[in-house]
Amino acid sequence: MPHNKLTKSQRELFCNLKAFLYTKAKNFTPIQDVKDMALILDTQD
């Protein structure tokens, strides 16, 4: 799915997810549980 077809919120979520996963990988911190995903989704509001 090309980026230009994404809605603004989808694009923001994708960027947040990328940044989140990059930070987790950089710190070698495993994703603990659903709470981490909830934090990402909370930033969308």
Q: How many domains does the chain have?
A: 1
Quote the DSSP letter at residue 4.
G
First to last CA, the chain: 24
Q: Cα separation of 21 and 29, whole Å?
A: 10
Give the pTM.
Answer: 0.41
Check residue 21 and give its pLDDT: 82
Check residue 44 and give its pLDDT: 63
Check residue 27 and give its pLDDT: 73
Which residues of the chain, if any, have pLDDT below 50? none
Quote the DSSP letter at residue 6.
S
Check residue 9 and give its pLDDT: 87
Q: Are 40 and 16 in contact (CB under 8 A)?
A: yes
Check residue 13 and give its pLDDT: 87
- List the domain range (segments joined by +) for residue 21: 3-42
Check residue 39 and give its pLDDT: 75
